[in-house]
Amino acid sequence: MSTSDPAHGEPPETHGAPEPPGAGRPGHTHRLITDVPGNAAAAGFAHAVVPAAGRTVYLAGQTALNPDGGLEGEDIVAQLDRAAGNLLRALAAAGGEPHHLVSLQLFVTDVEAYRARLRDLGGVWRAHFGRHYPAMGLFGVARLFDEDALVELMGVAVVPPAEP
């Protein structure tokens, strides 16, 4: 697979989250590709992610359920906050951290409500994920399994191999 720009013979621009403490091990940093010739500029996502070596973790869909099974949050911002926390707790249980995410899908029941609250949602995103933007997709859906849920997150992460 080549990521070079055939017209210029140079690789496309990439960016990633600042390298976290302890991330100096070889193969630990994923390569996020955000500038692809012929595509619109990526803003808040990566067009592609080339994962570092590691263990793949598939994260189940997470809504705003609290530990008692009740849904938290009356609006999409509050629900995204809880759902993101749930996703990251599941990732942590598998030995991962937010910057290990390589793919994330957001399912929302109201795309217009999501767009209307982008600034607030961006603050929630940065509180949980910093400025790490994996390959992402936003999907408008008729409804989610949890009837009152407004948002659900599902992701894939690649965590570094455990040290011997």
SS3 127: helix
Q: Dihedral of CA 4/5/11/17: which sign?
A: negative
Looking at this protein, which amino acid is placed at residue 160? P
| 11 lies in some domain | no
**pLDDT tens sequence across 70-112:** 999 999 999 999 999 999 999 999 999 999 999 999 999 999 9
| 36 lies in some domain | no
**pLDDT tens sequence across 148-162:** 999 999 999 999 887
What pLDDT sits at residue 28?
Answer: 53
Note down the domain range covering 138: 54-159
Give, in order, the Cα–Cα distances in Å from 123 to each of 59, 83, 139: 22, 14, 20
| 49 lies in some domain | no
pLDDT at 5 over 70: no
Count of structural domains, the chain = 1
| 142 lies in some domain | yes
Query: Hunting for tokens 């011997």 — which residue is that?
Result: 164
Q: Cβ atoms within 10 A of the Cβ of 84, count?
A: 23
Residue 59: HSE in the Cβ half-sphere, 13 Å Cα cutoff: 34
pLDDT at 8 over 70: no
What pLDDT sits at residue 21?
Answer: 33
pTM reported for the whole predicted model: 0.76
pLDDT at 9 over 90: no
| 16 lies in some domain | no
**pLDDT tens sequence across 19-73:** 333 333 344 577 777 788 888 888 878 788 787 788 999 999 999 999 999 999 9
- Over residues 112-139, the mean pLDDT reads 95
CATH of the domain at 92: 3.30.1330.40
| 6 lies in some domain | no
Give, in order, the Cα–Cα distances in Å from 25 to each of 31, 37, 130: 15, 31, 21
- CB of 52 closer than 8 Å to CB of 28: yes
| 91 lies in some domain | yes
| 8 lies in some domain | no
